[in-house]
Amino acid sequence: MIDGYSQRNRAHNHGILGLWWNWTIGVGSLTAVIFLGMLISKVWLPLVAFGIDIALLAYVRRNRVAEHLVCCLIPFIAMRAMFWSAAIMVAINFMNTHWFPHDYFDSQFSNPSIPYITILIVAPVTMLVTIFAILRGRRLNFCAECRMRHGSSVERGLLGNIFSQEASFQMRVLFWMSLGVSIVSWLYYAFCYINTDINRPDSFFFRWVPVLLFAGTLGYFGVRYVSLWQYYCQTVDGGADWGHGRFTLLRYIVMWKDSILLVAPDCGTGDDIPGDMRLDTPVKIRLPYRERMTAADSMAYFRNLSNMDDVRIRFMYLNTNFNTDSNIFHYACFVDAPDLDGSRLKGEWYTLPQIQRMSGENRVAPALTAEINRIYTVSMAWKTYDRKGRRLYDIKHYRPTFRLRDFPKWDVDLNDPNWLFVAQFNEDSRFYRLKRLWRKYVNGIGE
């Protein structure tokens, strides 16, 4: 059996170095199509592109069930760019057939033997797909589904934070890379290219420029991630930071009616867990790693920490971070009165509007924000739709009232990821039925 250190070290090695490999797979696939565009027939090139697109889809899907996960955002963007590029190639090939009327085209700009230059399609399409992903940010469906399956980056440990930061950085590099290639290739095409054949300068700009640029990024990201991996091995993995060891963390959110008890970290109850100085729950404890936590054990830990007996505890959900050897159990605790006399708890009661305002000012711990978002998202989805995303009411876009004081009465499983998918994909969302078929038969939750 692999011990905790080896398992954690293996997960981090695979995750950090896997970012370089995913860049190689994603951007390398796009570069390969550009390179092959000068070697094979333009009629068959779209079929090759569609084949690579299917291979990328299989690669992204396989990562979802892999033992050690890696952020596959770049292969996903490459997959989308490959699909639309291939579709444009098919359309151009069709316009060069005898079935399509040619009266609208100037013959001097048309060459049936070279109907298109591959880089003039792939580079702009990649740029557009990437800028769309950047603008969508956390709202991008691919990233939203990742959070539904694995939780927010703050709940996923060190690798979760690395994936979040590096995915954003890689997208920006890919955008500027594709933008630069698009500008250079189109300027050369407009002012220097003669539409008769492909000579050596044409081959350099249309084939070798993206290849050399891709090779340069491989070297850059290789050095970047090897350095990051070495830093982890020498500093983080050997340090005493609680967040990178083999542990189980219990977090208790104390609620009274529509208020939540919050406190500054230096006034909390339980272990002195290092972290930021933003407001958070006063009750949390770090334990040696445990796969399961019984209701009796969770109640016993809370009583020892708070010296309170008259409470009701409800399990909310479980997060397992990407280390595969650490987890977080989230609980809600309901008290009947705001008086904390006689207990070990300290802090002040805050309503949800107050917490929302302080969260916008970056005064609330991200873990607490993620927990409140989970409660609200799952509860509202459960109150509005059935498990398949169909409306419970005949009023489109109807939203029931959300009151925190009603939370103890709601019979909904916050640990069920299906409700997170329902909140994102439901009968009130655009193209609901089409998305439902896609998720069911291509990349659904039941994989």
Residue 352 forms part of a structural domain: no
In a domain, 298, yes or no: yes
**Residue 225 and residue 250 share a domain:** no
* pLDDT (tens digit per residue) in 310-345: 899 999 999 876 555 678 899 999 998 888 888 888
Asked whether residue 87 falls in the same domain as residue 220, the answer is yes
- Identify whether residues 181 and 129 lie together within a single domain: yes
Same domain, 291 and 417: no
Torsion of CA 399, 404, 409, 413, to 10 degrees: 70
Question: Partners of 287 in the beta sheet?
Answer: 248
Condensed to tens digits (0 to 9), the pLDDT of residues 212-230 reads 999 999 999 999 998 888 8
In a domain, 108, yes or no: no
The answer as to whether 130 is a domain residue is yes
Q: φ, ψ for residue 272 (rounded to 5)?
A: -80, 80
Query: How large is the C-alpha radius of gyration of the chain?
Result: 27
Do residue 212 and residue 180 come from a single domain?
Answer: yes
Task: Report the number of distinct structural domains present in the chain.
Answer: 3
- Is residue 219 packed enough to be buried (19+ CB in 10 Å), middle (13-18) or exposed (0-12)? exposed
Q: Which residues pair with 247 in a beta bridge?
A: 288
Q: Is residue 162 part of a domain?
A: yes
- 289 and 194, same structural domain? no
Residue 446: inside a domain, yes or no? Answer: no
What is the DSSP code (8-state) at residue 244? G
Q: How far apart are CA 431 and CA 426, in angstroms?
A: 9
CB 299 within 8 A of CB 315: no
Position 276 scores a pLDDT of 59
Closest to 146 measured CA to CA, from 157, 136, 156: 156
User: Does 79 lie in the same domain as 172?
Assistant: yes
Q: Do 232 and 252 lie in a common domain?
A: no
Q: Which two tokens stand for residue 2?
A: 């692999």
What's the pLDDT at 326? 78
pLDDT of residue 444: 43
* Pairwise CA distance, residues 3 & 324, whole Å: 12
Q: Give the Cβ contact number of residue 338 at 10 Å.
A: 11
Query: How far is the C-alpha of 78 from the C-alpha of 84, rounded, in Å?
Result: 10
Alpha-carbon distances of 148 from 72, 163, 168, 197, 229, rounded to whole Å: 15, 15, 19, 51, 27
Q: What is the pTM of this model?
A: 0.77
Residue corresponding to tokens 């189109």: 186
Quote the tokens at residue 234. Answer: 């020498």
Residue 433 lies in a domain: yes
- Tell me: do 255 and 177 sit in the same domain: no
**What CATH number is attached to the domain comprising 284?**
3.90.79
Question: Residue 360: inside a domain, yes or no?
Answer: no
pLDDT score, position 393: 86
Q: What is the pLDDT of residue 240?
A: 38
Cα torsion 307, 286, 333, 345: sign = positive
Domain end call among 201, 217, 236: 236
Residue 178 sits in the same domain as residue 78: yes
DSSP assignment of 64-105 equals HT-SS----HHHHHHHHHHHHHHHHHHHHHHHTSTTS--TTS
The two beta strands, 247-256 and 259-262, are: antiparallel
Q: Which of 194, 218, 236 is where one domain is finished?
A: 236
Compute the half-sphere exposure of residue 137: CA atoms within 13 Å on the CB side of its CA. Answer: 2
Residues 298, 430: one domain? no
Intra-chain end-to-end CA distance of the chain, in Å = 27
Of the residues 177, 212, 236, which one is the last residue of a structural domain? 236
Q: 271 with 420, same domain?
A: no
* Distance, CA of 229 to CA of 338 (rounded, Å): 48
pLDDT, tens digit only, all 447 positions of the chain: 345 455 566 667 778 888 999 999 999 999 999 999 888 888 899 999 999 999 999 999 888 777 677 889 999 999 999 999 999 999 988 887 766 665 555 555 566 677 889 999 999 999 999 999 999 988 888 888 888 777 777 777 677 788 889 999 999 999 999 999 999 999 998 888 877 777 888 889 998 999 999 999 999 999 999 888 887 766 555 443 434 457 889 999 999 999 999 997 665 554 544 455 789 999 999 998 888 899 999 999 999 999 888 899 999 999 876 555 678 899 999 998 888 888 888 899 999 999 999 998 989 998 899 999 999 999 999 999 999 888 998 888 788 899 999 999 999 999 998 898 888 888 888 877 777 777 666 654 333
Boundaries of domain holding 20: 4-100+113-236
